[in-house]
Amino acid sequence: MKDATEATRVANRAALAQVPLADRQSFEDARRGLIEALGDKLITRGDGRLVWTLKGYEFLEREDAPDSVHPGLWRHARVNMANGLYRVTDRVYQIRGFDVSNMTIIEGDSGLIVIDPLISTEVAEAAMELYLKHRPHKPVVAVIYSHSHIDHFGGVRGVVSGEDVAAGKVTIWAPAGFMAAAVGENVIAGNAMLRRALFQFGAMLPRGERGQVDTGLGKSVSLGTTTLIPPTNLIKKPVETHRIDGIEIIFELTPDAEAPAELIMYYPDFWVLNMTEITTQNFHNLLPMRGALVRDSLAWSKYIGGALHRYGGSSEVLIAQHNWPVWSGARVRGFLRKQRDAYKFVHDQTVRLMNYGYVGAEIAEMIKLPASLNQEWSAHSFYGNLKHNVRAIYQRYLGHYDGNPTNLDALPPVEAAKKSVEYMGGAEAVLKKAREDFSRGEYRWVAQVASQLVFADPANRDARELAADALEQLGYQVESATARNAYLQGAFELRNGVPNLPGGSGAAPDIVRSLPLDMYFDFMAVRLNGDKAAGKTIVLNWRFIDTKEDYVLNLENSALTFVADMQADNADATLTLTRATLDEISLQKTTYSAALQSGQIAVAGSIEKIVELLEMIDTFPIRFPVVEPRPAAISSTAR
Ligand SMILES: [Zn+2]
């Protein structure tokens, strides 16, 4: 990691004049109601491995931004350091800074209502422990999942047991569609998302003023045990009011904005509005850099506007499941107006320019927030990235293709790079010019052209170094934490190659067990190696004796399809097994071949056909190149 260059120093100083640095309200809001902080304590797993700590972020104590961090991001990263147990108002508490997300606790008449038990059980337990140290001991009687992202449910077994839920002692509430979204979002494209998430969150980057400083929504993500207990009560109507342990809660569904299944809540007894993740102290992501289906900015804005009209007049504090609260009715309303209009402005202006024919890359250059929004910290892109979001809106309506037929069948990265470098007079000539541009601070172009050199020849050490240097300076200059992480991770990989990713325990058992069979077979089908399947025809009946589910799997034309609730007369074989056996295979506790041998899977018909199909199913590599050429051909591994 290198120093900020003179050009970066100048850029970040210029940014200083553009941001509302005098507005220090957030620091006050974030600290208000603190009871006890987590400080630099370590939260570990049973085996001693680190799950969470704020230790290492001491460098953020400094008031003024260093040259290597955008001044807006520096301030945001400092406010996000507020951590511990907070009293929001009578009977409403929050634990912040124990994970990327917040846990909210409402004190009911007989017990506790926990909203969003963080990502992992270890941090959720630690959060409860801190709460109980200061408040009367009462059992948890209800859990509410605000939405289907894992930072809002993964730690649930740290606050309640499955037995208590099954026995009816605890109810679990969630928005309609929660389970399918929660277990399904990271299945089909999960491997690519996992790899790309490393760029978004910068989890492997060192913390420091030349490394990871924040993620926008919180400091980082906890690395403990993730769990899931299915909800017992679903909110299905657009607005539903329930009394849970004596507390009136108005639930309002907000689907397909920040998450496929999400809700916000208003607590009339306390005049508290919980906007969950529909508002944060950020202009959020319309398309996270890990990859996702594009989110709907227009719907998002309308949900915020609706909350403003319905609850704005009777809210004394606004809390969310990330970042810090907004206090006093007038400021709550002002905040909601700014959030509503940030999503609306960027949406409408992108679409307006789109209809003039401009393409995403051009519109991203053209859109600047109006001064009234730019002077509001919460409209800044710390988690999202304005330019990336503009392109996401374009993609949502028009797709990735910009309409220019030149790009209908453009050469792929390696071939295009080789041709470009050759036309430009060879690698040495390109490097010479690119170094001159680097010295002038033209990092965007240098990153682009040096990347072409890397794709033309990944062994070109000078090109890799120059590309890395350019990405690093771009990271130092950008206000978005996730964009900074992406640039710095890119620089790291150009210098050091694809990192050895932590082995990872794979998917959480709770999530594997909850995966609907339709999704299981959809996922099996996307792992089918089309070349190996060429010319093959296989029909397999599957009978799950414990769940009483039947499936027919059909392979022809190199495509694997299935029909549920059916068995084929002409099947090559019938497999009879339990869902539990299938889950053990998914969790890598056993394999198909072991289960076939042991009789855990009973077979009638041709076992050879089963083996033949299984040998066509790929296992995805956890490491693949992102900032340099992918292998020309993939060798797949069957299991
Ligand atoms: Zn979240």
pLDDT tens per residue, range 580-637: 999 999 999 999 999 999 999 999 999 999 999 999 999 998 889 999 999 887 655 4
Distance 217 CA to ligand 1 centre (A): 7
Distance 242 CA to ligand 1 centre (A): 24
Whether residue 78 contacts residue 66, with contact meaning beta carbons closer than 8 Å, is answered with: no
**Amino acid (1-letter code) at residue 485:** N
Stretch (H or E) spanning 319: strand 317-319
Distance 226 CA to ligand 1 centre (A): 15
What are the pLDDT digits (tens) for 567-578? 999 999 999 999
pLDDT at residue 154, rounded to an integer: 97
Whether residue 467 contacts residue 600, with contact meaning beta carbons closer than 8 Å, is answered with: no
Whether residue 279 contacts residue 48, with contact meaning beta carbons closer than 8 Å, is answered with: no
Distance 354 CA to ligand 1 centre (A): 30
Distance 235 CA to ligand 1 centre (A): 19
Check pLDDT > 90 for residue 185. Answer: no
Distance 151 CA to ligand 1 centre (A): 5
SS3 readout for 340-379: HHHHHHHHHHHHHHHCCCCCHHHHHHHCCCCHHHHCCHHH
Picking from 162-166, 181-185, 295-299, which range would have the lowest pLDDT averaged per residue?
181-185
State in Å, rounded, how far the first CA of the chain is from the last one: 40
Across the chain, what does the average pLDDT equal?
Answer: 96
pLDDT at residue 502, rounded to an integer: 65
pLDDT at residue 637, rounded to an integer: 47
Cα pseudo-dihedral 318, 319, 325, 327, rounded to 10: 20
Half-sphere exposure (Cβ direction) of 581: Cα atoms closer than 13 Å: 22
Distance 69 CA to ligand 1 centre (A): 24
Q: Edge-to-edge strands of the sheet including 573-577? A: 559-564, 549-556, 538-544, 573-577, 602-605
pLDDT at residue 504, rounded to an integer: 54
Q: Is 25 helix (H, G, I), strand (E, B) or coil?
A: helix
Distance 61 CA to ligand 1 centre (A): 25
What are the pLDDT digits (tens) for 261-277? 999 999 999 999 999 99
What are the pLDDT digits (tens) for 313-335? 999 999 999 999 999 999 999 99
pLDDT at residue 350, rounded to an integer: 98
**Residues 462-472: what's their mean pLDDT?**
98
pLDDT-derived band at 501, boundaries 50, 70, 90:
confident
Bigger pLDDT: 184 vs 472: 472
Distance 142 CA to ligand 1 centre (A): 20
**Residues 553-559: what's their mean pLDDT?**
98
**Amino acid (1-letter code) at residue 100:** V
Distance 161 CA to ligand 1 centre (A): 23
Check pLDDT > 80 for residue 468. Answer: yes
Quote the CA–CA distance of 446 and 437 in Å, as a whole number.
7
pLDDT at residue 399, rounded to an integer: 97
What are the pLDDT digits (tens) for 13-24? 999 998 999 999
pLDDT at residue 480, rounded to an integer: 98
Distance 458 CA to ligand 1 centre (A): 37
pLDDT at residue 187, rounded to an integer: 87
Distance 396 CA to ligand 1 centre (A): 22
b vs e for 45-56, b when ≥16 Cβ sit within 10 Å of the residue's Cβ? Answer: eeeeeebbbbee
Maximal C-alpha separation, the chain: 77
pLDDT at residue 638, rounded to an integer: 38
What are the pLDDT digits (tens) for 140-180? 999 999 999 999 999 999 999 999 999 999 999 999 999 99
**Residues 81-97: what's their mean pLDDT?**
98
What's the predicted TM-score (pTM) here? 0.96
Strands (E) across 500-626 are located at: 538-544, 549-556, 559-564, 573-577, 602-605
Distance 118 CA to ligand 1 centre (A): 9
Strands 538-544 and 573-577: parallel
SS3 readout for 32-70: CCEEECCCCCEEECCCCCEEEECCCCHHHHCCCCCCCCC
